[in-house]
Amino acid sequence: MTQKSFHDQHVTQLSPKTEPTPNTQRESLAAEVRKLSFWYGETQALKEITLSIAYRKVTALIGPSGCGKSTLLRSFNRMHDLYAGNRYSGEICLFPENHNLIDLDPFMVRLRIGMVFQKPNPFPKSIFENVAAGLRIQGVQNKKLLSDRVEQALRDAALWEEVKDRLSQSAYGLSGGQQQRLCIARALAPQPEILLLDEPTSALDPIATAKVEDLITEIRHRFTVIIVTHNMQQAARISDFTAYMHLGKLIEFAPTGELFTTPQETLTRDYITGRFG
Amino acid sequence: MNNQHTLRIFDEDLNTLRQEIVALSNHVSEQLHRALTALVENNADLAEQVIANDRIADALQEKINTHTTRTLARQQAMADDLRAILAASRIAIHLERIGDYAKNTAKRSRHLARPISAEFAEEFLWMGKRIQSMLSQVTESYIHHNAPLANVAWTDDAELDTVYANLFEHLLRMMSQESRNIGDGTQLLFIAKGLERAGDHVTDIAEEIYLMVTGLPLQSPRPKVSELL
Amino acid sequence: MVNAEMSQATLPNLTGIVDANRRTDLVMAGIGISVLIVAMSLLAAVVIDLIVGGWPRLINPDFYLNFPSRHPLQAGIVSAWVGTILVMLVTAGIAIPLGVGAGVYLEEYAARNWITDFIEINVSNLAGVPSIIYGLLALGLFIHGFGLGETILTAGLVLALLILPVIIVSTREAIRGIPLDLREAAYGLGADKWQTVRLYVLPAARSGILTGTIVGLARAIGEAAPVITIGALTFIAFLPPSPIQSSPPFINFEWLESPFTIMPIQMFNWVSRPQAEFHINAAAAGVILMLMTLAMNGIAIWLRYHLRRQIR
């Protein structure tokens, strides 16, 4: 396992401007996974994962099917707790408080960490109510606050211009790409600390995909994003850091530009160059 | 090139690359100017500066190299985007070589026994100016994707070659007239040859730009020095 | 050359397979259509027979407004249809909340253990219990046990019990049909179980639940056996007290304790009489009962459509 510390990743003057330059301060981290293991019943799906999530950056999790990338992502908002027989060990610490979210109430965790799923899954309600859903769940009643937040979220999701005249119409009238951006707006409206994206473009056409990718690179200025993708080119295009996972283990974690040009591990190199064992 | 990519960070990557090429080109042009100034004014301090500053060109080229590799790895560039990234990588190599010739000029200028004559100074300065103007032309054509302008710079090299051929003969004559001139004359010959090579690199850059913009190689054979002698 | 030979050898074969498939399709379509025709004609025969048989009474307005009578030509169904509607109100009022509640509990909240399994097996079995058994249960429990008497409330309760399993099962199925995505989306926003069920699962499942409920009520509306068992009268020459009154509190529940009759019992009564004229009445009442069922289904379809429209 090659774990470059953030100190090691300090990039020299010569590296391109777009490469992230995280410092060693704690404020630059949104979360830290420490020796996280996870079991579905008897099957161990994650094996002592240790990983840092940079604050307001895009971190991509890639790897072959069954490598545990989605399992790791879903641990962040305790989705596994919905189903019986799942077990965690280890920590996922949220900064700045340094709370282990495995010990927190899962409902509290989900208020702080938003999620977007593989298939667009809007509620059978109006566009406005879809985006307002998270706020309503939190008990927000103030109409002004609701409509302000809904507009902001739709703008963040690059959807406002397309839907501003039909907010009261059903979300099902939108195209697949628009529905997915609506789901992103829905997750953004409560202003989560971390946004989880689980293969958000796997059901979309290339143009809709490009729009979603563009909005992800825009929102990272205000949100920390973790994205799981089976499309490693997507990880290359839009992420600042990439983690390569294999059989439940973290194999390599590095700034994206480095991981895709100079991988340190043979497994990583084989995967990103298309030499599957 | 006027329309943006949907994924705007791709545009940012390409823009950064473009700015770095322009920066390297400007730096090399300045180096050349200062090296020739040091030569004709017999200014050893300036020459030292030029030699030291060559490291900047190397660093810039290294930076462009890393950046092109990363852009290729990150963005699945196609068509003119792909040509632009590949062109940037190759143009940077040519620019860095021109920088090396500037450095060599500065180095050799320190070894001259006597200041060079006004006549030679004029010819060297002319060559330097011509290379600088060709460089600014190719840079302009690179920025604006202007293939005809690259073509102009490409043909300008012929004139440079003629001047080099004349200078070559003058230097030979100077050395044959008086044997104590052989030391300085040899240095100056190498400098002149270097400038001629720098001009060739500019024409190579023009070819790269033409290919980048049109997707086609520059067709007609370029006039050769040997044919002009 | 080899390729040409091969294609020549295989082509006729392929045509044969395609032709055979096409023939099978035609045969299956033919069988399907004939089965459909047989079923539809039987149904049509019954309906037409009833309409033709009851026609003289169906076109007489008195039939709808008169109470039962010993004279076939004066006998009407007013007490029967009013009774049916009131009993159905009670049935729906009891069965829907209980059934949907139980369905939601079993599907969403119940822990997976032997008690839940036991309840589930019993619910499924209840759906298969003959309706007369419910009648006996009501006679023992509601009338002799609780002393509720032979009232609309008792009839409503027994029919509610009868259709409860149908509503529970269809509610569970409708809830189970809601994609996991939708639930995870709600949980992902921090919703708790009740918020998820109330705000997202139930609204999405309501058309399925509504369908199951209507199927149940349609069964209840035609049931005579359990209501006869509890001793509903067949000859009612008065209406229950009105549920609405002009003085506050504007509604009253005295009608719940009123004796009553319902359409199937009225029909049963007329059919069992020797005079042929009463059989005409029975046929006419049958048509009305069918129309009431149809109307209920119509309301369900309209509601479903309306609810979907609301979403947009």
Per residue in B188-218, pLDDT (tens digit) is 999 999 999 999 999 999 999 999 998 888 7
Quote the CATH superfamily of domain A2-6+28-121+194-272: P-loop containing nucleotide triphosphate hydrolases (3.40.50.300)
The overall longest dimension of chain A from CA atoms, in Å, is 56
Neighbours of A223 (CB within 10 A): 22
Distance from CA of B70 to the nearest CA of A (A): 5
CB A204 within 8 A of CB A180: yes
In chain B, residues with a C-beta closer than 8 Å to the C-beta of A233 are 76
B10 CB neighbours in chain A (<8 A) are: 237
pLDDT for A27: 59
Compute φ and ψ for C167, nearest 5 degrees: -70, -40
Asked if the Cβ–Cβ distance from A257 to B13 is below 8 Å, we say no
Sorted by where each begins, the domain ranges of chain B are 8-228
Low-confidence stretches of chain C (pLDDT beneath 50): 1, 312
Superfamily of domain C62-311: MetI-like (1.10.3720.10)
The count of other CB atoms within 10 Å of the CB of residue C52 is 12
What does the DSSP 8-state code read for residue C108? I
Backbone angles phi, psi at A51, to 5 degrees: -160, 140
Half-sphere exposure of C83 (CA within 13 A, CB side): 32
* DSSP string of A107-172, one letter each residue: HHHHHHEEEE-SS----SSBHHHHHHHHHHHTT---HHHHHHHHHHHHHHTT-HHHHTT-TTSBGG
In angstroms, the Cα distances linking C180 to A82, A110, A174, B188, C102 are: 11, 17, 21, 81, 21
Chain A residue with CA closest to B10: the answer is: A237
Cα–Cα dist A253/A240, whole Å: 11
Confirm if B93 and B175 have CB atoms less than 8 A apart. Answer: no
* Cα dist from C3 to C11, C12, C159, whole Å: 12, 15, 74
List per-residue pLDDT tens for chain A, 277 residues long: 444 443 343 333 333 334 444 444 445 899 999 999 999 988 999 999 999 999 999 999 999 998 999 999 999 999 998 888 899 999 999 988 888 989 999 998 998 999 999 999 999 889 999 999 999 998 888 999 999 999 999 999 999 999 999 999 989 999 999 999 999 999 999 999 999 999 999 989 999 999 999 999 999 999 999 999 998 899 999 999 999 999 999 999 999 999 999 999 999 999 988 887 6
Residues 6+ apart with CB under 8 A from C220: C88, C91, C95, C159, C160, C162, C163
- Supply the pLDDT for residue A8: 40
pLDDT exceeds 80 at position B83: yes
Q: Which residue of A has its CA nearest to B67?
A: A16
Copy the structure tokens of residue A55.
């604050």
d(Cα C84, Cα C90) in Å, to the nearest integer? 10
Q: What is the percent of chain B with per-residue pLDDT over 90, rounded to a whole number?
A: 59
Per domain, the residue ranges of chain A are 2-6+28-121+194-272
Peptide bond into C259 cis (omega under 30): no
Note if the pTM is more than 0.80: no
Tokens of C15: 């045509």
Q: Which residues of A touch C189 (CB under 8 A)?
A: 110-111, 114, 133-134, 137, 186-187, 190
Pick the CATH number of B8-228 from 1.20.58.220, 1.10.3210.10, 3.20.20.70, 1.10.420.10: 1.20.58.220
* A-B Cβ pairs (cutoff 8 Å, strict): 55
